[in-house]
Amino acid sequence: MIAQLRVFWIAIRPYAFPASIMPALIGAAAAWYTGVPLNVIHLFLASLGVALIHAAGNLVNDAYDYAKGIDRHVIPVSGAVVRGLITARQALKLATYCAIFGAGIGIYFVFLRGVLVAAIGLGGLLLAVCYTAPPLHLKYRGLGDLAILFAFGVGVAAGSWFVQTGRLTWTPVVWGFPQAMLVVGILHANNWRDIGRDGELGARSLAQRLGDRGSFLYYAVLTAGALLLAVLMIAASQVWAITPRMPWTCLLVFLAIPQTTGLIRSAYARPTTGDPPPFVVLDAATAQLNLTFGLLFTAGLVLGRILGL
């Protein structure tokens, strides 16, 4: 039983879950900041649902990347397929179970909030699965970053807001965009590491199209740009009294500057030695930045509500 749980844990790659859970947290915190009572149970269920969909996407990605020959070398952040712990068929079967349980949570919210929840949830699921799965193969066509931006970025923030409030506005989409940039940063770090092998096998990811230098510049924009955009949004809402006004306490994200600059320096140097090599696990390190930023931004919204800003 312990061995099976270990295989399951490796297969779903939970280190990446902040990519989906942090936008859900921000969406709920934004709703609470604007005066909507927080439903903790709904926040938990929404976070669990997107994590299950994320796990399904990870498993499908592992299965098809392995089948295409892209993932054949074990690295510290590898899933269970390339490690030989499960087959690609078993990964797809496990992905189906994760998707079914995630959809079950979605059905509850459909009864609670209406069919718009189904549209948001099914859209996210399709984008996550079709990232590598046929017939779209979004990653291989250079459209994977855009798909993940919506599936696990602004889409999750908007969905989390909606299940809390019962209405949909642009607020969670706009406020969640800096976090969504970091979500894409995790994905890009993974694809950047693999551009050589992707190119050999005909997988034209955006990183592969940009090349090594372009990928570094893109990574820097995604990571440093997320901080800069958050600050600009705070300043704009304060200066021009945009409603709802983003509280200045969200400047807590400044505390993520050292972590961000460290990752950009590491990305620039592209170190491939060490245990583990920093460039090889840049995606996992970016996931940690995503977690830091999300918690700081959420804390800023919470403090803003408490202080009445």
One-letter amino acid identity for 35? G
Cα separation, 178 vs 201, whole angstroms:
32
Q: Does the pLDDT of residue 45 top 80, yes or no?
A: yes
Q: Does the pLDDT of residue 5 top 90, yes or no?
A: no
Cα separation, 140 vs 205, whole angstroms:
5
pLDDT at 200: 64
pLDDT at 275: 66
pLDDT tens digits for 64-112?
878 777 766 777 777 778 888 888 899 899 999 999 999 899 899 999 8
Q: Does the pLDDT of residue 214 top 90, yes or no?
A: yes
One-letter amino acid identity for 249? T
pLDDT at 13: 83
pLDDT at 232: 92
Q: Does the pLDDT of residue 168 top 70, yes or no?
A: yes
Domains with residue ranges and CATH for the chain: 15-307 (1.10.600)
On whether the CB atoms of residues 188 and 165 are closer than 8 A, the answer is no
Range 25-36 average pLDDT: 94
Structure tokens at 287: 């996931």
SS3 letters across 82-151: CCCCCCHHHHHHHHHHHHHHHHHHHHHHHHHHCHHHHHHHHHHHHHHHCCCCCCCCCHHHCCHHHHHHHH
CA angle 85, 87, 90 (to 5 degrees): 105
Measure Cα distances from 308 to 35, 118, 161, 269, 301 in Å. Answer: 10, 34, 20, 44, 10
Q: Does the pLDDT of residue 199 top 70, yes or no?
A: no
CA angle 37, 40, 46 (to 5 degrees): 110
Q: Which residues of 14-25 are buried (b: 16+ CB within 10 A; e: fewer)?
A: bbbbbbbbbbbb
Instruction: Give residue 201's pLDDT band: very low, low, confident or very high (50, 70, 90).
Output: low
Cα separation, 36 vs 175, whole angstroms:
16
pLDDT at 29: 95
- For the chain, what is the mean pLDDT? 87
Instruction: Give residue 196's pLDDT band: very low, low, confident or very high (50, 70, 90).
Output: confident
Between 220 and 153, residue with greater pLDDT: 220
Instruction: Give residue 144's pLDDT band: very low, low, confident or very high (50, 70, 90).
Output: confident
Residue for token pair 């807590």: 252
pLDDT tens digits for 217-235?
999 999 999 999 999 998 8
